[in-house]
Every structure is written in structure tokens, then in C-alpha cells.
Amino acid sequence: MSNTSSIVEERRSKPKDYKKVFRGLAKYMSAEWPLLLLALAMVIIANVIVLYGPYFSGLAIDAMGEVSGEVHFPRVVRMVLFMLLAYALSAVLNYFLTRVMARASQKVIYQMRQDTFDKIVDLPISYIDSHQAGDLVSRISYDLDVVSQSLTNDLVQIVASTITVFGSFFMMLSISPIMSVIFLLILPVTIIFTRYRIKKTRPLFSERSRKLGQMNGYVEEILSGQKTIQAYNKQEFFSEGFEDINEDSIHAYYRADYQAAMNGPSVTLISNLSLALVSMFGALFFLRGVFSLGNLSAFVLYSRRFSGPINMIANIIADLQSALSAAERVFNLLDQPSEAADKADAVELRDVEGRVEFDRVDFSYVPDVPIIKDLSLKAPAGSLIAIVGPTGAGKTTLINLLMCFYDPQSGEILVDDHPITDVTRKSLRQSFAMVLQDTWLFNGTIRDNIAYGRPDASFADVQKAAKAAHIDTFIDAQPEGYNAHVSDGAENLSQGQKQLLTIARAMLLDAPMLILDEATSNVDSHTEIQIQDAMNRLIEGRTAFVIAHRLSTIQNADTILLVEGGEIKEQGTHEELLARNGAYAKLYNAQFA
Amino acid sequence: MLKDYVKPMTGRIIVNAIIKMTGTMLEVILPYILAHILNKIVPIRQEKLILMWGLLMVVCSVAAWILNITANRMASKTAATAIQNIRQDLFERSMALSARQLDRFSVASLESRLTSDTYVIHRFLGATLRMGIRSVMLFLGGVIFSFLLDWRLALVLILLIPPLFYVLRHVFNKVHPLFHEVQYRMDNMVQIIRENIKGIRVIKALDKTEHEKSRFAEANNQTKEAEIDARDHMAVMSPAVNILLYTGLGLVILLGALLVNRGLSQVGTIMAFMSYFIQITNSIMSLNRMFNIYSRANTSAERIEEVLQTPPDKNQKIDPDTLMDLPVPDPNIPEVEFKHVSFSYLGKHKDLQDVSFKLYPGQSLGIMGATGSGKSTVARLLLRQYDVNRGEILVRGINIQNLRPSDLKELFGIVNQNDFLFHGTVRQNIDFGRSLTDEELIEATHHAQAAQFLDSKEGGLDFELASKGVNLSGGQKQRLYLSRALAGEPEILILDDSSSALDFETDRRLRHTLAQDYGRTTTFIIAQRISSVKDCDQILLLEDGRMLALGDHKTLVQTCSPYRDIARIQMGEDQVSKPRPESTREDA
């Protein structure tokens, strides 16, 4: 089953813990109680008033008498005016109701969105690492949107429909209890029928979404391999595969449609049957003098209003259910613990010299799969630690530990003899500068991106950093210079230029310690030399942890850590490791020689 | 053009429409019957007749119910059939697009055309056949019957239609751009979330979480304001329509009262008229909705047609007059020759310029250069994914433009940078629709160094891969791509950055196997690291699409200074001047 379909599947499910969801929603909605209360009052008044429309039009009809010449004009005009007044009042109320509800629901959603975002950036890195970005994004882009739609429309609709159904019935009851019996019969039949239909069609609709998801998955997957498929001349083979999937999804769509084809006509049938019964019995009762034509007219109009909302309530319940499960997914995220706070007695790191020590550190991401076993390492201030090994996970682990993104299971890491768990995270992280291979720029100007870590830096300082990182000529060549816009997906920047910008950002920080991920040579040789030079400048005078790809860096390192298969295999200087003739020597000979 | 998919079903659609119209008319007639009862039967006080006409109303309702359901089901079938064909053709056309056309459309865009656009059309087609015909009938039927009932009252109705349409279209036109604005703000917000998730390490390292929160709050607030603005404007719609409708109703009652008083009309007529009035207004509302769906569907239809109507690209056309058969390899004729090849993807920047080389059967060519220097372009041109702008590419002495695409493609085994695995078994992924035997598959996995890890997977060749092979590591995926390329016993093998995720031991074994078991295969190795190509017979160094040098490693180190620079950066000063170990591969 493809990813898409399992998401669809998940979205269809009912919330597991109604209590929690309601409590959560109540908390957010209670903040807007004046607006919501106002809206509730308006929706009730508007829908009660509108019920008087048919009543007055019925009275107007009655005022016409039964034969020509009997029309009581002043009364007709008065009743028509009353009718218009009722409809107009409710229309005006509805207009303001929509505006009030838009404000109330948007304010609620605003707060929920903000809290969700705040939670995402406050989460521990381990949570972000172990969850798909798309999944987190969809909490805000999809789930909260569903909740928002539901808050804006469904709440009003459900109150309005309930009032219409019961109000219409009450009005009919007050006009003629006997005729109302017709609706007393129709109401339960409608409810039972609607519920039965929902039960029957619901699984068909989720099957349809599932199949559609499968088809989307197939299309996404196969199209991404189009060039490979053409290279093997296998377009027809995969088109045949699509035929089955397409057939499946169309069939599921049709099966759901086939059943749903009944819904519209059935609602109309109920409305039409009520009209027929009202007409027939109304005429009979009229003949017997227990029912006026105006009553009949009002009944006809009420009966038309009656069947729609019942069906609507059924639809809204389905909507509400998916809104509640969307809300539940949001609340589940909000319930995640944030990154733990600093210890109460945490001290601020100041005037850091850059001594780093690992003392018998054990670490694993998953229990029983150790990544680091008993690592001890002393890095004096200004020393260079190279981390080498084949491509793959593992090398970033040291960064995760140094920056306190993850905590070791046992052992200690010390900076300037302070265990890093005893200092404030802020001061620890600020004493490191970081250049990752996975460069990160945000949507903003070049200047803002360089000065991201030091927004107070003067323009001269920013320029100095750019110059040191060899990116100044490029920036000056931009029509807007330092105010040129960049973003992560920017096409106007090459990978190498992005890297240089992040180096400039690190230069500006001027932190005593450095974490550096050397670029592999996916840039032209000229840029590569510039990057190399910029990195060398950056390393100077700092305690540096470098994920190294270059021989020159490695040979100059004070300590080399060889990481393979996700764990540290060997540790020592270049000469020591070569002499050992182990994994490092093999790697060195195969890859660098 | 999409009409062509519906045309074969014209007969069916006509029957469908007739059933729907009949069903709808049976409903439209109900208020007329009510008027008849009140105007004609009640005055003569015939209870039996009232019951009979009432029963007729019930019969009409039930008949309408059955007919409408039947018509709806037919409509669903019609829509489903049309969409199935459209989607199939669209998929096949997408699969057959030339590389250049594919780039122009982009995979993501084709994807959304195949999924959401066909989905929109499906809904539109279904809705037109169900709702559209019904709305038109309710409208026309309503107008006709109200004229039949009383033409003077009907004039009130006619008077009301233009302002109704005006309000609907006016609000729609006003609100439409506002909802675009909401979408735009929403996209901005989502971008900030994505940025934050991607850069979370940097953000935390620089203690910028509070800054990011306030940045998001700003975007969040803009979304809120845009949404409120759009809804405020939208709020006018339904009250305005209702006020118009009920003003009309009031006029009908007043005018009706005048007419009744003069004996020109009857109360029953006015009551029936009120029913038609509401019916017509509802049908206008639903026609308006149809119109909105239509304008969306129209955009989708254009997007689908754009793909379907794309003619075959120049490089996909074969001229039968110049077609030649592919000869067997000849050691004296270059297996592959580039003669002064120039090429540009977009027509402005030259992506390859005057590239020439000869590669004899069994020889290997390493291609080096930075990203964007044109390395992969060489392979793409050889595969005829794109055609050269100038110069010629010859395979066994024949210009590849004179070869059958199927003949040409059968020569190659390719591993691409971003190759592709699909949801299915390992066997299906390696076989790739070629109906290879198990022995061939197993041999290929051995040669590609994939056999070992496959043994550890449940089911071996029948191990189920997740979509895009996400349940494999990078190195394992690369070994499957290689297995696929090797399984067809290719005569020309193209490895484009294909061993970057292999650990060094596997990489070494692979190179050994290739040298030993595929010694007769002509090989292209595209790489960024000198260590991957240094044993090739020839190395082509590209910079910015131009040939900087062509020769073996030893020669290049001595004669080409850019190559020497790269070697120095990648391998260190002393390594470059050291004597190289002898090549393991013999020259052909």
C-alpha cells in the first residue's frame, strides 16, 4: 500500500479519545466566548424569525378569501410586509453572523496554528528526525484547515438545521396537529433511511479514497522513473500496469457513485411525498373546513424546508467526525513533550576556550543498537578532530551529541571542564559555529541570511564575513547586492554558492568551536578551491570537528575518528591508524590512494 | 478534444438525458397538480378525485425517484468510462514524452494532471450529467409551468432573474481573487514550516526559535486576515439572494391578490406559483455552482489536453528511408564515436560544445567534471533522450538517428544518478518487464554485489520493496540498479555516479567483477571522484561543456593542470606524483 493511501486511511478514522479532543477544542474556543456567544444568539434568532415567513405568507393567502372580490387588501399588504420583515431580518442577521463566525473561528484557528508551530520548533530534534516533514507540515496545512472549515460552517449549520427541523415541526403543530402527524411519520423514516445510507456508503467512499490514493502513488512513482523506463523501452509494460490500477480506482469510484446516486433523489422523494400528502390531506381537510388555504400554503412551504436539513445534518456529522479526528492529530502533537528545559542550576558558558572532552560516552538511537561505545577523547583548545568514513549515517552523531540535540545514555561530554548537561543550552550552542553539508538558507535577503546568528551585526561586519568566505564578488554581482533575495530552493544559487553563504554565516558568528561538514566535490574546481580556502580560514584558531573528505584535512588532524556502519571503529592520528593497518588503512588505500 | 472521449457515448447520454428530463418533469409537475386540485377539484367538492390526484402526485414522486436514480447511475457509468479512457491515454502519452518534453512539463505537474485534474473532470462530468441537466430542467420547467399558471405573475419572475445572476456573478468575481490571496498566504505559511523543519538544527544552534515563532506569527496573522476578508465579502451572497427571492415572493402575493380580486387568478395558482418560485431560485443557485465547477474543470481540461496534444518530439520521429540495421561489433570500428558534438538544453547556454572521442569495443571511458559540466549530458545524447544540435554520434559507424530506437536501446544497460525503484518485488524491479529467467536474474545480482544482502532479506528475489525503495539503504538501492543494468547483458554499460553509496570494499569487488566478467562490454563511468575513473582506458575531463582533456590518468596528471589540481585536492599532494599501480584492465 502506498503512503498516500495510508494517509487517506488515517484521515478517515474516527477520533479515539473524544474527551481529549473536546477538552482541547473547548479550551481554544472558550478564549473567543464573547464572539461565539453572540454568534449563537444570532443563529438562533435568525432561524426562529425565518420560521415566521411561511406563517405570514399563509395569513396573506388567507386574507385573499376563497372567491374573487373577497380580498382584504390592507391585511394582505400587512402580512406580506411582515413576511418580508421576517426574511429580511434573518438575512441581515445571517450576514453579520457569517462575519462574526469568520472572526471567531479564524481567531481560534490562528491560536491553534501558532501553538502547533511553536510546538514543532520546540520539539526535541529526535522527534523531528523520526517523523516525516510532510506529516508535520500537514498538521497545519491540512488538519487545521479541516478544523477551520468545520468551525466556520458546520457549527452554524448544525444549530440552524436543528432549529429549522424542530421549529418547522412546531409551527406546523401549532397550525394543525392532525396534519403534523404526516411529518411525525416522515421524520423517523427519513432519519432511519439516512443513517442506513451513510452506513452503506461510508465504506465505499473510504475504499474509493484508498484506491485513488493507490493510483496517485503509482503515478507519482512510475512517472519519476519515466526516463529510466524509456531507456529500457518499457513504456508499454508500465502502461499495462497502470491499466489495472486505473480500472480499480475507476471501479471503486463508480461503486461509491452508484450507491450515492440514490441520495439526492431520495431526499427529493421525501420532500415530494410530503408535498403530495400535504396537498391531498390539506385539500380534504379544507373541504371539511378544518384547514384554511393559507394553512395549506404554509404547510407546503414548511414541508419543503423540512427534509433538506435532515440530510444536511447527516452530512455534517460525517464532516464533524473528520474534523474531530483532524483536531485529535493536532492535539496529539501538542501533547508531545518539548525539548527538556535547562537544569535549574545550569550555568552560562562564558569566555569559552574550546577544550572538549568525551568521557566514556555510550550512545544509541535505538535501544540495543549501539552507535558509540565507550568513547573517550580529549580535544585541547584549537585542535582538529577529523571524522572519516564511507557515505552513510553515523558521522552526524557526534554533532548531535556535542550540540545537545541528543543526550548520551552514559558518560559525559565536557566543554572547558563543564559537563554540557550542566550549562544552559543557549550558551553551549552559541559557543559552536556549524557548517553543514546540507546547507540551509531561508527565504530572505542575502544579508539576513548571513547575519542570521547575529542580527545586530553591522553591515561592515557582514561584508567582512562575506569577503572572508569568498562570496563577496558573487554578491556584488547581484543587481540588488546584499539585499538580493535567496531561498533554499533558489535556482539562482549553485550548491557551492549556498555553501559559501553558510560559511560566511559561521564566520560572522566567531564562535570558539566549530562543526564542519566538508563539501564533497560536487562543485567546479574553482569554487572548490575557494570553499577549501574559506574553510581553512574558518578552522584557524578554533576547536574544530570536521567531517572530512579531503586528505589534507585528515592528515593534519590531531585525532581521526573512523566511523563505519554507524559506529566508531578506530581512533588515532593518521600515522597511528595507518600503522595499525586496519579499516582506516583500507579506506585510505581504496578511496584516497 | 476531451469531447472526443464522450462522443462515442452520445447515444447513451441522450437516453440518460431523456430519463433525467422525464424524472425531473414529473417533479416539476407536482405544484401544478396541487394548483389543479385547489382550483378545479376543491370547488366541486369531489373527495374521491382529490384522493386520485393526490395518489397521482405520490406516483409521480416515486416514478421520479426511480427515473432519477437510474439516470444518475447511468451518468456515473458514463463519466467513469470517459475518465478511465482519458486517464489511460494521458498516462501513456506522459510515458512516451521525450525527455525534453518531460522537462518542460515537469514530473510534478504531469502527476497533478493525471490525478487531481482528471479527478476534477470526473466530478464535473458526473455533476453535469446529474445536476446540470436537472437544474436546467427545473429552471425551464419552472418557467414554463409558471407561464402556464399565470403569465402576469411569471413576469415578476422574469424580472428577478437578471439581478439574481448579477449578484451571484458579482460576488463570485469579487471573492475569487480574495480566496487566491488566502491560498497564497497559506503557501507562505507552509514554506516557513518547511524551512523550519529542514533547518531545525541551525535554528536551535543559533537560538533562533523565538525569532522563527514571531516570523510565523506574522504569516499566520496575514492568513487569518486574508481569510476573514474573503469571508466578509462572501457573507453578502446568500442574504442578498434571499432578500431578492422573498421580495419577488412578496410581489407575487401582492400582484396575485390583485388578480384574485378581479377573478383573473385563483389562490391555488398563487400557492403553486410560490413553489415554482423557490424551485427556480434553487435551480439558479445550482446553475451558478455548476458554472463555478465548470470554470475549474475547463482549466483542468486544458491542462490535460496540453499533454495529449503534444506531438512526438523531433528525436522521436523515424525516417524510414534512412533507417539502417545495426551491425555486429567490429574491433576495428569504434563502438561509440562522438564527432564534434554540440548541444544545448534550452537553446541559450551551450551545455556541450565540440565534444569528440572514440571508444572501441570493450574499452572504458571515464567522464569527470563538476556538477553542470555536461557529464550526464553525454550519456543522455548517446541514449537519444535528446538529439545533438551539431555534430554526430555514431554507434558502430552508424549515426544513431538512423537506428531504430528499439535496436539502440537494447544495446544499453544504464545506472542513473537518481535511478528508480518501484513498489513491487526485487524480481519485478530487476526484470523490468523483460521476462528474464531466474538464472539470469541471480547471476546479475551476484555480479552487482547484491546477492549477499538479498539473501538476508525475507524472500530474497521476492522481497517486497516499498515505494521508491525506501526500505533499502542507498548502497542496496545502487546494487539493485546495477543488477537491472547487468541483467540484460548489455553491450554498452553506462554508470552515472553509480557507486557513490557503496562502501569501499563492495566498490572494489564491483570494479573487479566488471573488469573480469564484463571485459567485452564497452563502459562509460561518470564520476566526481578521480579514484572511480583512474583505471579507465580514457578519461574525458569536462568543464562547462567543453573538453578540457582526453587521455588516460597518467597522461592527464602530467599534461592537464586542472586535472592535476583536482587530483591534488582530492588525493593530496604526494599522492599525485606517486607512480600509479598498473591498470587491471587490458587495452582492447
Nearest-neighbour CA in chain B from A272: distance (Å): 6
Q: B200-215: per-residue pLDDT in tens? A: 888 988 888 999 999 9
Tell me the backbone φ, ψ of residue A256, rounded to 5 degrees: -70, -45
Burial class (CB in 10 A: 0-12, 13-18, 19+), A135: middle
Cβ contacts of residue A95 below 8 Å, gap of 6+?
B235, B236, B239
Q: Which residue of B has its CA nearest to A253?
A: B80
* CB interface of A with B, residues 289-348, below 8 Å: 293, 296-297, 300-301, 304, 339
Residue B433 to residue A242: CA distance in whole angstroms: 13
Answer whether A264 touches B (CB < 8 Å).
yes
Q: Do B201 and A217 touch (CB under 8 A)?
A: no
Task: Give chain A positions within 8 Å (CB) of B569.
Answer: 521, 525, 528-529, 532, 550, 552
Residue A186: all three cell numbers together:
416522515
Q: Do A141 and B412 touch (CB under 8 A)?
A: no
Helix (H, G, I), strand (E, B) or coil at A564: strand
Task: Give chain A positions within 8 Å (CB) of B221.
Answer: 110
Q: What is the CATH number of domain B3-150+265-308?
A: 1.20.1560.10
Answer whether A478 touches B (CB < 8 Å).
no
Answer whether A427 touches B (CB < 8 Å).
no
* CB interface of B with A, residues 359-378, below 8 Å: 369-373
Nearest-neighbour CA in chain B from A203: distance (Å): 18
0.90 exceeded by pTM: no
Task: Give chain A positions within 8 Å (CB) of B467.
Answer: 2-3, 217, 221
Nearest-neighbour CA in chain A from B36: distance (Å): 11
Task: Give chain A positions within 8 Å (CB) of B236.
Answer: 95
> Domains of chain B: which residue ranges?
3-150+265-308, 332-411+490-588, 421-488
Nearest-neighbour CA in chain B from A488: distance (Å): 8
Instruction: Name the residue facing A92 among B211, B216, B239 (closest C-beta).
Output: B239
Answer whether A410 touches B (CB < 8 Å).
no
What pLDDT score does B96 carry? Answer: 92
Answer whether B565 touches A (CB < 8 Å).
yes
Provide DSSP, A134-195: HHHHHIIIIIHHHHHHIIIIIHHHHHHHHHHHHHHHHHHHHH-HHHHHHHHHHHHHHHHHHH
Q: Do B107 and A223 touch (CB under 8 A)?
A: yes
Answer whether B69 touches A (CB < 8 Å).
yes
Provide DSSP, A360-399: EEEE-SSTT--SEEEEEEEE-TT-EEEEE-SSSTTTTHHH
Q: How many CA atoms lie within 13 A of A590 on its CB side?
A: 20
Nearest-neighbour CA in chain B from A378: distance (Å): 23
b/e per residue B115-134 (b: at least 16 CB within 10 A): bebbbbbbbbbbbbbbbbbb
Cell 388567507 found at:
A62
Answer whether B200 touches A (CB < 8 Å).
yes
Answer whether A531 touches B (CB < 8 Å).
no
Cβ contacts of residue A557 below 8 Å, gap of 6+?
A384, A385, A386, A546, A548, A573, A574
Which superfamily does CATH assign the domain made up of A3-334 to?
Answer: ABC transporter type 1, transmembrane domain (1.20.1560.10)
Fold of B332-411+490-588: Rossmann fold (3.40.50)
Residue B337: all three cell numbers together:
564515436
Answer whether B199 touches A (CB < 8 Å).
yes
Q: B523-548: per-residue pLDDT in tens? A: 999 887 777 788 889 999 988 889 98
Q: Do B370 and A522 touch (CB under 8 A)?
A: yes
Which one of B101, B381, B503 would you mutate to disrupt binding with A, by most A Cβ within 10 Å of its Cβ? B503
What pLDDT score does A490 carry? Answer: 58
The crossing angle, in degrees rounded to 10, of helices B561-571 and A525-539 is: 40
Cell 461510508 found at:
A202
Q: Do B57 and A272 touch (CB under 8 A)?
A: yes
Q: B3-18: per-residue pLDDT in tens? A: 899 999 999 999 999 9
Answer whether B202 touches A (CB < 8 Å).
yes
Q: Do B204 and A509 touch (CB under 8 A)?
A: no
Nearest-neighbour CA in chain A from B12: distance (Å): 17
What pLDDT score does B61 carry? Answer: 95
Q: What percent of chain B has pLDDT over 70?
A: 95
Residue A70 to residue B260: CA distance in whole angstroms: 9
Residue-level pLDDT, tens digit, chain A, 593 residues: 333 333 333 444 566 678 888 999 999 999 999 999 999 999 999 999 999 998 999 999 889 887 677 788 999 999 999 999 999 999 999 999 999 999 999 999 999 999 999 999 999 988 888 887 777 888 888 789 889 888 888 888 888 888 988 888 888 888 888 888 888 888 788 888 878 887 888 788 888 888 888 888 888 888 888 888 888 888 889 999 999 999 999 999 999 889 888 888 888 888 888 889 988 999 999 888 888 888 888 888 888 777 667 667 767 777 787 788 889 989 999 999 998 888 888 888 888 888 999 999 888 887 777 778 888 888 999 899 998 876 554 667 888 898 888 989 999 999 999 999 899 988 999 899 888 877 888 888 999 999 998 889 999 999 999 998 888 988 988 888 999 888 766 556 777 788 889 889 998 988 899 988 876 545 566 677 777 788 888 888 889 998 877 777 788 889 998 877 667 788 899 889 888 888 888 777 766 54
Does residue B499 have a pLDDT over 80?
no
Task: Give chain A positions within 8 Å (CB) of B571.
Answer: 551, 592-593
Answer whether A547 touches B (CB < 8 Å).
no
Residue B59 to residue B62: CA distance in whole angstroms: 5
> Domains of chain A: which residue ranges?
3-334, 342-431+512-522+545-593
What DSSP element (H or E) covers B350?
Answer: none
Instruction: Name the residue facing A221 among B87, B468, B544 (closest C-beta).
Output: B468
Answer whether B22 touches A (CB < 8 Å).
no
Q: Do B409 and A227 touch (CB under 8 A)?
A: no
Q: B28-69: per-residue pLDDT in tens? A: 999 999 999 988 888 898 899 999 999 999 999 999 999 999
Nearest-neighbour CA in chain A from B88: distance (Å): 7
Phi-psi label, residue A404: left if phi above 0, alpha if psi -120 to 50, beta otherwise? left
Q: Which residue of B has its CA nearest to A209?
A: B119
Q: Does domain A342-431+512-522+545-593 have CATH number 3.60.150.10?
A: no
Integer angstrom CA distances of residue B451 from B70, B436, B469, B500, B503? 58, 17, 17, 19, 15
Can you give the length of chain A in residues? Answer: 593
Q: Do B253 and A61 touch (CB under 8 A)?
A: yes
Which one of B253, B269, B349, B507 would you mutate to disrupt binding with A, by most A Cβ within 10 Å of its Cβ? B253
Answer whether A261 touches B (CB < 8 Å).
yes
Per CATH, A3-334 and A342-431+512-522+545-593 having the same topology is answered: no
How many Cβ atoms from other residues are within 10 Å of residue A389's Cβ?
A: 26
